[in-house]
Structures are given as structure tokens and as C-alpha cells.
Chain A
Amino acid sequence: EAGVAQSPRYKIIEKRQSVAFWCNPISGHATLYWYQQILGQGPKLLIQFQNNGVVDDSQLPKDRFSAERLKGVDSTLKIQPAKLEDSAVYLCASSLDGGVHTEAFFGQGTRLTVV
């Protein structure tokens, strides 16, 4: 079974530039998550989708971050404009249905460096 695919693996941009990350979840998984993991910290949920609807985006900095999952499958996360403090690993995860007993599977992440 193929895992969660993310691209690119690494990205270096200057502050105030824009960047986009792509995620393809495990086939058949209805729930998709984007997490931000700053060095030395645990992952923090940015946004959770159930199919193509948003379940939780309470920790998404909406003035600069946006995410979409238009067809309920793959998803993109965008940052515009980037700040130095956005340097982090952006992890995508998916689960079958987002239930409390349902395991979430993580991709390898995109490591973003803002200079």
C-alpha cells in the first residue's frame, strides 16, 4: 500500500516570497491533515479536511496560510508571504475517517527554510 506522498522534500525561499506544498493521501482516506513541526517541537495541527470540507482550521494563520482539497483527494498548502518563523517541516497525514480510534499515517514532510 502506497503511503502519504508529499512534495517537494525541501524548499528554501526568501522572506515575503510565496510557496506551495502538495500532498497525496493514502487512497480511500477521507481525512487529511496538515501539521507544522518547528525544530524541537511536536507537530501542531494547521488544518483538517474531511473529504473536501474543513473540519478544523483554528490554528491556521489565515492572513498568510491557505489550504485546499478541491476534489477530496490531494491537497495543497500555500504560504504567502512567508516569514522567517515559518521555517519548519510541514507534515501531511491522512486517516480513513478521522475517528478517535482511527490511525493517522504521516508523509515524510516538506522542510521549509525561510531566509
Chain B
Amino acid sequence: QKEVEQDPGPLSVPEGAIVSLNCTYSNSAFQYFMWYRQYSRKGPELLMYTYSSGNKEDGRFTAQVDKSSKYISLFIRDSQPSDSATYLCAMKTSYDKVIFGPGTSLSVIP
């Protein structure tokens, strides 16, 4: 079993839809959770960062962490064509390196 798993997609949605992206993990020592967005032929950029269970909102983005189920989600409201990218979940313990999921490719169709 891989440490971090993520549905690879591709996911295609119409503009304005609500998007749900999900990751599961196996290491209960993970304490810090991140979502990165990676446009084609670009490096990843940090979207959301959280270290507690529950929801964290930033504009159209909401990150949700459920440590008891080892499950994290990213919700995108009112999705835009500019949201088309690969979304990577990432997580780490307090003492070890960041582990990335394989990414979910998202296309938002105008």
C-alpha cells in the first residue's frame, strides 16, 4: 500500500461546478497537510496548508482533514477554466520529508 493515494483522474467538469478532490493516507504520524496546484510544464505551487482536523477555507477553496479516517479533501466552488491543472495532495510528519500524492488532473470546460 502506498503512503498517499489519490484518484489520478482525469476529472472533467463544466465551468461553475463544485469539484471534490480526495486523498487517503496510511501513516497516522502525518500531522501537516497541503494541497498544491501544478499547471502544465510548471512547478507546483502551494494552495492550502493545514495541520488540524476540520475545514479551512480560502476564497473558493476549502480543505478538509479527517485524521480519524486518514482522509483529506479539497473542494473548489464555482470552478473556472483557470483551475484546470493537476492537484497534488502532500503531507508530512513533524520530523520527516513531505510525501506527495500522485496528483489528480482536472479540466474545467467553459
Tell me if B94 and A108 are in contact (CB < 8 A).
no
A61 within 8 A of B: no
Which one of B6, B44, B103 contacts A106 once the chains associate, using CB atoms below 8 Å?
B44
Chain A residues, CB < 8 A from B102: 40-42
Known: A100-B32, A108-B41, A108-B42. A42 touches B94 (CB 8 A): no
Instruction: Give the residues in chain B near A107, CB-CB below 8 Å.
Output: 43
Q: Which of B1-40 contact A (CB under 8 A)?
A: 4, 6, 8, 32
Write out the residue numbers on chain A whose beta carbons fall within 8 Å of the beta carbon of B101: 42
Q: Could you give, for residues 70-110 of chain B, a 1 whenever the CB lies within 8 Å of some chain A CB and a 0 otherwise? A: 00000000000000000010101010011111110000000
Residues of B within 8 Å of A56, CB to CB, are: 97
B88 A106 Cβ-Cβ under 8 A? no
Tell me the complex Cα distance, A40–B8, Å: 8
Contact B43 A42 (CB under 8 A): no
Answer whether residue A109 sits at the interface, using C-beta atoms and an 8 A cutoff: yes
Chain B contact-residue range equals 20 to 34
Smallest CB separation, B75 vs chain A (Å): 20
Q: Are B100 and A43 in contact (CB under 8 A)?
A: yes
Known contacts A41-B103, A42-B101, then 20 further A-B pairs from the complex at CB < 8 Å, ordered by chain A residue: A40-B102, A40-B103, A41-B102, A42-B4, A42-B88, A42-B90, A42-B100, A42-B102, A42-B103, A45-B97, A45-B98, A91-B43, A93-B43, A101-B49, A103-B46, A103-B49, A104-B98, A108-B43, A109-B43, A111-B41
Report which A residues bind B (CB closer than 8 A): 4, 40-45, 48, 56, 91, 93, 100-101, 103-109, 111
